[in-house]
Structures are given as structure tokens and as C-alpha cells.
């Protein structure tokens, strides 16, 4: 699994004690590796607010003082879980990970690309999981679609 890397995830907001949620390292917390996180560096620009007057040429557009804004985007992320025990153990690890993603928006940081974003959420899970052999080990490979609602703010490790 040379090309498979760990990643970091932190739920947005605070817990019941008003403390930030802990940063979770993927392999230590869930046994989940990542092969591909296709972060978009510069996404499509949102259309500015505008008004068109019938008796005038063109449009009146409002451009914010700090510039045009970018659209949110979705990305398909490929994950893998190493079979170290039974198939039920792999199912449990993947299920726990997916349940964590369902808890709300989170920060996501790739240790390989050194890119991170905040206000990311689960958008869907592909139903085409498959087993793959690599380095004399078996891995369950699955794909998750994430929506990046803040395509601008860089997230780094503290």
C-alpha cells in the first residue's frame, strides 16, 4: 500500500463540554487509508449578484470588495481498509468511519497532498466496494463523495 496514505479529520464545532472535537488520524482511529483526495485548488467562480434593466444595455453587477466568490464542489475520495482479522472486523471499521462522517461538517487534511479544507460533509457512498490484494494483504476499497462547502480556507495541522 505504498500509494495509500493516512489523513486527518476533525468535526466542526464543539462537544458537550464546549471543547473542540479531537483531531482523528485515519489509520489509528479507524484503520482507514486514503488513495485519492482530489482537492480542487481553484474552483468555478460564482455568478455575481446582478440586475438587468430593460431600458439599459448590459447588466448591473455587484462585485464584493474582496473579489468574486467560488462555488462549492464535490469530490470522490477513494478509501481502503486492511483486512487484519475477519470480514466482520473490516465491516465494523468501515461502518464506524462512515457513521463518523455522518455526524456533520468536518475539517479534512491530506498528509500526502498537504491540502486541507473545512466545512466538508458526506454527500454519498458508492455501492461498488471491492476487495483488492496488495503486499500480501487484502483491502476493502470503497469510494465516498464529499462536498466541500468552503473551497477557499486552507486547513493545516496544528
pLDDT in tens, 29-81: 999 999 888 888 888 998 888 888 888 888 888 888 999 999 999 999 999 99
In a domain, 116, yes or no: yes
In a domain, 29, yes or no: yes
Over residues 90-140, the pLDDT tens digits come to 999 999 999 999 999 999 999 888 999 999 999 999 999 999 887 788 889
- Can you give the pLDDT at residue 2? 56
In a domain, 15, yes or no: yes
- Can you give the pLDDT at residue 84? 84
Question: C-alpha 36: how far from its chain's center?
Answer: 11
In a domain, 33, yes or no: yes
Whether 12 shows a pLDDT value over 90: the answer reads: yes
In a domain, 47, yes or no: no
In a domain, 60, yes or no: yes
- Can you give the pLDDT at residue 106? 97
The tally of domains found in the chain comes to: 1
Helix (H) or strand (E) holding 60: strand 60-62
Residue 154: pLDDT band with limits 50, 70, 90: very high
Cell of 68: 468574486
- Can you give the pLDDT at residue 97? 97
The domain in which residue 77 lies consists of: 7-42+53-150
Q: For residue 120, what is the domain's CATH number?
A: 2.40.30
The model's pTM: 0.87
In a domain, 115, yes or no: yes
Rounded mean pLDDT, 126-155? 91
Q: Which residues pair with 74 in a beta bridge?
A: 147
In a domain, 143, yes or no: yes
Amino acid at each position: 500500500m505504498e500509494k495509500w496514505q493516512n489523513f486527518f479529520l476533525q468535526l466542526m464545532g464543539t462537544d458537550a463540554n464546549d471543547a473542540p472535537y479531537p483531531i482523528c488520524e485515519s489509520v489509528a482511529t479507524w484503520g482507514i487509508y486514503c488513495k485519492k483526495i482530489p482537492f480542487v485548488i481553484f474552483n468555478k467562480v460564482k455568478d455575481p449578484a446582478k440586475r438587468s434593466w430593460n431600458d439599459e444595455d448590459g447588466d448591473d453587477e455587484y462585485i464584493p470588495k474582496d473579489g468574486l466568490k467560488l462555488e462549492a464542489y464535490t469530490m470522490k475520495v477513494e478509501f481502503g481498509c486492511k483486512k487484519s482479522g475477519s470480514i466482520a472486523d473490516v465491516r465494523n471499521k468501515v461502518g464506524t468511519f462512515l457513521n463518523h462522517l455522518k455526524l456533520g461538517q468536518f475539517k479534512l487534511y491530506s498528509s500526502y497532498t498537504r491540502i486541507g479544507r473545512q466545512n466538508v460533509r458526506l454527500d454519498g457512498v458508492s455501492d461498488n466496494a471491492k476487495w483488492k490484494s496488495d503486499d500480501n494483504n487484502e483491502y476493502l476499497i470503497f469510494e465516498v463523495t464529499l462536498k466541500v462547502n468552503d473551497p477557499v480556507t486552507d486547513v493545516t495541522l496544528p
